[in-house]
Structure 1
């Protein structure tokens, strides 16, 4: 079986950290016997190339110095800061459209799987119709949230949904948005972890600080207090509005300084603003900004943390977390979760079973959840066991890919 995967972003070189979940997904599809090619836009003149033995077809859409619409940051965010970039949307779609036809004429895939259907459904539709290739549209949430700001997107998406033979959604939240546009069957197709061999045993709270491989190769967590007396609260992600970091900083006021430490990993447009906010917190938990970390230093942050948090919100544009794959990875690494009850997060975090959910924009509720975990190792032990069950049930790549391949096969019958 041959599948052409279309997306706005794909790794440009071997060490590129762009869309690791998509790269991992394709690796698992290939492992299942599916032959894959990728169609993605060029970045600053980048030519077609191979990654992990997969051929990546790059289509050009502007002079090399202008090909910055995708990669490194979402296109909507780039357009917000550089409005002229929206002029590239038309050549982007046209050139992608014809490149898709060329690939399908030569390679003849059995299925076209287009991620982010706005605009990639329109890149795929010509080849799908011309060569009678089934089309799968894969929604990740952001394209649906665009409707609130750009009303003209709604009829385009509604039409595209009607042309597809199958629809995938990364979360039940995203699926609900799709069904509100058009009443169609939607397959839930989340992401699994992108970690390789990093899973840690789901230990008790008292053992959840760091990991050191034993001679047998199984990571073990030593006592946290051997390293730091404070209960470490970890956030990892871009510093943008929908991550809700400002509410995590506000929660520090409710946490005793001698017991708690908040560690904020990453960078983004709001970094300096958030640092200023944190500097104004005189009492409460210490707040540390680590900046962007190497893979080794990031792994150490996970190993020495006691809890992982994602205090996400629905931002002023209506954007929020489509799924929260970082939560799955934190679960895999043996950390209990505290997160906001928004977007696709409840698909991962079942309150009281695989983590703790709190209302969005509620610093006091965040602080209370951290205090509960710090005071009750038995609760963390229960949540970690529930997290393991949740991952095994819904977020293993073998299960995700098996369901995808079943859909592909059904479309060929």
Structure 2
């Protein structure tokens, strides 16, 4: 089984942390017997290379210094801040189109699997038609949300869906949006954990009781609107500082704004080693030096962490939170793979009932779901967990069952391979 995987992003070097779920997916496909090549755009002149024994074909689409449309940040965000990058979309599609034909003429894959169908369906279609290769389109949600901003994307996506022999979606939320465009069969194909250590809570020493006297609430992710971090900060107002601590890992466009919000709440603190200055550390310490037990819970911004320090955050946390929202662009979590990782590491979950999150979190069984944009509901969920260790154990057991049923790579890849084989036979 030879599969050509097309995407906008793929690791550029061995230690690159880009799209870990796609890299892990390909590793498991190879383990299942598939032979894989990847087609992805160059980044600043990057030539074709191998990663984990998989050949990555890089197509050029501009002078090296201009090849920044992908990687490190989503292309839509880059285009929003640098509108001139939209001009690169045309050579991107054209050059990718012809590179795909060259690869398929020489290698003759059994299946073309194109992630992010806008625009990659149009990179794949020429080769798929010319060499009669079945085409699988894999939606992740973001491409469908473009329709709200760019109406002309809708007919292009609708046409592309009609040309594919199989459609994958990362969540039921994404599948619903696909079916709203065109009534087709959609295969649910989520992600598994991308953590190499993937150990249970007992192995990592994660405990369902306060660490260092406080119940630690952990958020990990980019600081962007759809993550809903501002509502987590507001939830601190409803949590007694002598019992709770909120730890926010990561960076993003909203980091400084969120720090200012936390300072206004009256609970900002910074880890040594974050991007804050000495004066900020001093002022935040004074801000938190006094207060009754029911003043806001302390909020700690850790900044971007090394893998070792991130693992320690998971190890010492008591609950993982994803307070996601539907942002002003209509964007939200397509699946919430970070939840799967936190579950795999043995943390109970509190998350918003939006997007693809309910595919992962069954309320009261594998975690706690709360309404979006509701700081009080978030705080109440944390209080329930802190006061009820038995509930934590129940949710951890339910999370393990949910992972084993839906989110193990063996199960995910087995379903993908069945689709590939069916297409090859047809």
Q: Where on the TM-score scale, by shorter chain, does this alignment land: which range? A: over 0.9
Deviation string, structure 1 residues 1-32 (Cα, Å, up to 9, x no partner): 10000000000000000000000000000000
Deviation string, structure 1 residues 56-76 (Cα, Å, up to 9, x no partner): 000000000000000000000
Deviation string, structure 1 residues 137-189 (Cα, Å, up to 9, x no partner): 00000000110111100000000000000000000000000000000000000
Deviation string, structure 1 residues 243-262 (Cα, Å, up to 9, x no partner): 00000000000000000000
- Judging changes above 3 Å, is the alpha-carbon distance between structure 1 residues 60 and 262 closer, same or farther for their aligned structure 2 residues? same
Give, in angstroms, the shift of residue 226 of structure 1: 8.1
Deviation string, structure 1 residues 89-136 (Cα, Å, up to 9, x no partner): 000000000000000000000000000000000000000000000000
Secondary structure at 1:114's aligned position in 2? strand
Aligned counterparts of 2:417 and 2:365: Cα–Cα separation in 1? 30
Is the 2:210–2:216 contact (alpha carbons within 8 Å) kept by the matching residues of 1?
no
Give, in angstroms, the shift of residue 227 of structure 1: 4.4
Deviation string, structure 1 residues 256-303 (Cα, Å, up to 9, x no partner): 00000000000000000000000111x311000000000000000000
Aligned counterparts of 2:424 and 2:224: Cα–Cα separation in 1? 42
Give, in angstroms, the shift of residue 225 of structure 1: 6.5
- Judging changes above 3 Å, is the alpha-carbon distance between structure 1 residues 139 and 215 closer, same or farther for their aligned structure 2 residues? closer
Aligned counterparts of 2:104 and 2:204: Cα–Cα separation in 1? 49
Is the 2:361–2:367 contact (alpha carbons within 8 Å) kept by the matching residues of 1?
yes
- Judging changes above 3 Å, is the alpha-carbon distance between structure 1 residues 56 and 399 closer, same or farther for their aligned structure 2 residues? same
Aligned counterparts of 1:126 and 1:53: Cα–Cα separation in 2? 27
Aligned counterparts of 1:141 and 1:215: Cα–Cα separation in 2? 34
TM superposition score normalised by structure 1: 0.93
- Judging changes above 3 Å, is the alpha-carbon distance between structure 1 residues 91 and 216 closer, same or farther for their aligned structure 2 residues? closer
Give, in angstroms, the shift of residue 217 of structure 1: 12
Secondary structure at 1:256's aligned position in 2? coil
Is the 2:204–2:315 contact (alpha carbons within 8 Å) kept by the matching residues of 1?
no
Aligned counterparts of 1:302 and 1:30: Cα–Cα separation in 2? 30
Is the 2:210–2:318 contact (alpha carbons within 8 Å) kept by the matching residues of 1?
no
Pairing partner for 2:231 from 247, 266, 286:
247
Aligned counterparts of 1:74 and 1:195: Cα–Cα separation in 2? 22
Aligned counterparts of 2:55 and 2:91: Cα–Cα separation in 1? 23
Is the 2:9–2:41 contact (alpha carbons within 8 Å) kept by the matching residues of 1?
yes
- Judging changes above 3 Å, is the alpha-carbon distance between structure 1 residues 235 and 102 closer, same or farther for their aligned structure 2 residues? same
Give, in angstroms, the shift of residue 216 of structure 1: 12
Aligned counterparts of 1:150 and 1:35: Cα–Cα separation in 2? 37
Deviation string, structure 1 residues 283-324 (Cα, Å, up to 9, x no partner): 311000000000000000000000000000000000000000
Is the 2:220–2:248 contact (alpha carbons within 8 Å) kept by the matching residues of 1?
yes
Poorly superposed stretches of 4+, deviation over 4 Å: 214-218, 224-227
Is the 2:4–2:112 contact (alpha carbons within 8 Å) kept by the matching residues of 1?
yes
Deviation string, structure 1 residues 42-84 (Cα, Å, up to 9, x no partner): 0000000000000000000000000000000000000010010
Aligned counterparts of 1:81 and 1:164: Cα–Cα separation in 2? 33
Gaps of 5+ in 1: 197-213, 219-223
Aligned counterparts of 2:336 and 2:204: Cα–Cα separation in 1? 32
TM superposition score normalised by structure 2: 0.90
- Judging changes above 3 Å, is the alpha-carbon distance between structure 1 residues 271 and 215 closer, same or farther for their aligned structure 2 residues? closer
Aligned counterparts of 1:343 and 1:58: Cα–Cα separation in 2? 32
- Judging changes above 3 Å, is the alpha-carbon distance between structure 1 residues 227 and 359 closer, same or farther for their aligned structure 2 residues? closer
- Judging changes above 3 Å, is the alpha-carbon distance between structure 1 residues 216 and 164 closer, same or farther for their aligned structure 2 residues? closer
CA RMSD of aligned residues (A): 1.5
Indicate yes or no: 2:416 matched with 1:404. yes
Give, in angstroms, the shift of residue 412 of structure 1: 1.1
Secondary structure at 1:235's aligned position in 2? strand
- Judging changes above 3 Å, is the alpha-carbon distance between structure 1 residues 225 and 115 closer, same or farther for their aligned structure 2 residues? closer
Indicate yes or no: 2:242 matched with 1:258. yes
Secondary structure at 1:215's aligned position in 2? helix
Secondary structure at 1:225's aligned position in 2? coil
Partner of 1:204: none
Secondary structure at 1:136's aligned position in 2? strand
- Judging changes above 3 Å, is the alpha-carbon distance between structure 1 residues 88 and 330 closer, same or farther for their aligned structure 2 residues? same
Give, in angstroms, the shift of residue 215 of structure 1: 11
Indicate yes or no: 2:310 matched with 1:298. yes
Deviation string, structure 1 residues 313-347 (Cα, Å, up to 9, x no partner): 00000000000000000000000000000000000
Secondary structure at 1:264's aligned position in 2? strand
Deviation string, structure 1 residues 351-388 (Cα, Å, up to 9, x no partner): 00000000000000000000000000000100000000
Aligned counterparts of 1:287 and 1:215: Cα–Cα separation in 2? 28
Is the 2:112–2:128 contact (alpha carbons within 8 Å) kept by the matching residues of 1?
yes
